[in-house]
Amino acid sequence: MAYYTGKGDKGTTGLLGAGRMAKSDPVFTAIGDVDELNSAIGVALYYTHNDRIRSGLREIQNDLFIIGASLASRKVKISKARLSGKAVARLEGSIDEMDGQLPPLKRFVLPGGCEAAAHLHIARSIARRAERSMTGAGRNGRMDTNALAYMNRLSSYLFVAAIYLNYTEGIKESHPAY
């Protein structure tokens, strides 16, 4: 198998059901942001020692791959390339479960803490960018509403997971001084 084709050397790439398109098309920005997010979660997974969070991050990586496939096949219906509402509900349940074990949050939090939490904060900010990119890409065609809802919840999940990891490790959150 060749790892390169040379077909994109002139600034275009293929999209399932849409033929060749400019690499600058907003859909490729969204696909790239989702891919970057998946990679950032892979790094966070490496540093995470909490089995519950590790399991959640593995599920999220799979979900992000499905979202990427959905973006890449947006003009073609592929049932396996669509998230169900259950994925959104799963994130919400995990957020609620972790939040139930945390003291109330009364102030803004500066990103950081243990290594895993710091990486989750980076992933959270990438998730927000990916959501914005997906919204922009949706203007040019059909967008999976479950995928958009998922990305919206995902940034919340990553934030709460970071706070949760710091809490379980006994690391106090830093707050802005203003």
Q: Is residue 35 part of a domain?
A: yes
In this prediction, residue 140 has a pLDDT band, given cuts at 50, 70 and 90, of low
Q: Alpha-carbon distance 134 to 143, whole Å?
A: 8
**What's the half-sphere exposure (Cβ side, CA atoms, 13 Å) at 123?**
32
**Which has more confidence, 71 or 113?**
113
In a domain, 127, yes or no: yes
| Percentage of the residues of the chain whose pLDDT score is greater than 70 | 92
Residue 176 lies in a domain: no
Provide the domain count of the chain: 1
> Which range marks the domain in which residue 122 is found?
20-168
Task: List the single range of 114-118, 137-141, 172-176 with lowest mean pLDDT.
Answer: 137-141
Lowest pLDDT segment from 16-20, 40-44, 54-58: 16-20
Is residue 13 assigned to a domain? no
pLDDT digits (tens, 9 = 90+) for 74-114: 555 555 567 888 999 999 999 999 999 999 999 999 999 99
Residue 66, beta-bridge partner list = none
Taking the model in full, what pTM does it have? 0.90
Q: What is the mean pLDDT of the chain?
A: 90
CA distances from 86 to 63, 90, 149 (A): 11, 6, 11
pLDDT(56) > 70: yes
In a domain, 2, yes or no: no
Q: What is the pLDDT of residue 24?
A: 84
Three-point CA angle 126, 130, 136, nearest 5°: 145
The pLDDT, as a whole number, for residue 139 is 66
Return the pLDDT at 78: 55
* DSSP-derived secondary structure for 138-170: HTTS---HHHHHHHHHHHHHHHHHHHHHHHHTT
- Is residue 155 domain-resident? yes
Cβ proximity of 75 and 15 under 8 Å: yes
CATH number for position 110: 1.20.1200.10
Task: Kindly indicate the confidence band of residue 19, based on its pLDDT and cuts at 50, 70 and 90.
Answer: confident
* Residue 178 maps to a domain: no
Give CA separation, 169 vs 113, 116, 117, 152, in Å.
Answer: 9, 11, 10, 27
pLDDT of the residue at 76: 52
Q: Is residue 1 part of a domain?
A: no
With a CB cutoff of 8 Å and minimum separation 6, the contacts of 155 are 124, 127, 128, 131
State how far the Cα of 99 lies from the Cα of 90, in Å rounded to an integer. Answer: 14
pLDDT at residue number 141:
57
Q: pLDDT band for position 11 (50/70/90)?
A: confident
